[in-house]
Amino acid sequence: MVNYTRMPRGTTKCRTGYVLRTLQSRHARSYRSLRHQALGEAAPSFGTSLSEELKKPYRQYFNDLSQYRRSQSDFLLGLFEETEDRLIGCLGFYRQKKLKTRHKGLIWGMYVHPVHRRKGLGHWMLSDAITRIRRQEDLEIVHLGVVSQNAEAMQLYEGLGFVSFGKEPRAFKLQGVYYDIQHMYLEL
């Protein structure tokens, strides 16, 4: 179990040497680097391919992070090693904007560097995100999608209360191999 304490300005300090921060435009380079690593190392888990992401200019990362920072509801959370201030994990949240769907949100792009897995950090990061999400007025449900073959991620999400509501067969195709997506939700 990871112990942590709440700190001001969207930062949560973990006593085991890690910090969660809302990403800002100044994190664009490290976020870009981590995103490239995630798409290369865990390619089947993401809808975007590394080759597509490599075409995205640096300036777009900067602009995207600036836009998230200005949002009242959306955020991109970064997991940092406290001593080196190195980004080693991330998770995004997007709230629907249309009148009929703004009671829903989506968690996307969750990733923790392989060296830092199995330390409870993914659980901590997702728990912190859920706490932030629950503070939003009139938000009732959060969705996410996970590759069905990723048993560890499924177990993490189920352990935090997410429930499966459907499987999308052949959702992703990578090098001739199909991957199903399990759709999950959490009622707030």
Specify the CATH number for the domain of residue 152: 3.40.630.30
Containing structural domain, residue 95: 4-187
pLDDT in tens, 114-165: 999 999 999 999 999 999 999 999 999 999 999 999 999 999 999 999 999 9
pLDDT at residue 17, as a whole number: 86
Spell 94-110 as b/e; 16+ CB within 10 A means b.
bbbeeeeeeebbbbebb
- Residue 97 above 50 pLDDT? yes
Mean pLDDT of 23-31: 92
Report the pLDDT value the prediction gives residue 76, as an integer from 0 to 100. Answer: 94
Q: Give CA–CA dist 142/130, Å, rounded.
A: 9
Distance of CA 179 to the CA centre of its chain: 19
Helices and strands counted in the chain (H then E): 5, 9
Check if the beta carbon of residue 171 is closer than 8 Å to that of residue 180: yes
Higher-pLDDT residue of 70 and 14 is 70
Average pLDDT, the chain: 90
pLDDT at 8: 42
Count structural domains, the chain.
1
Tell me the whole-structure pTM to 2 decimals. 0.88
Q: Taking the mean position of all CA atoms in its chain, how far away is CA 41?
A: 16
Share of the chain above pLDDT 90, in %: 79
Residue-wise pLDDT tens digits, 41-79: 999 999 999 999 999 998 999 888 888 877 889 999 999
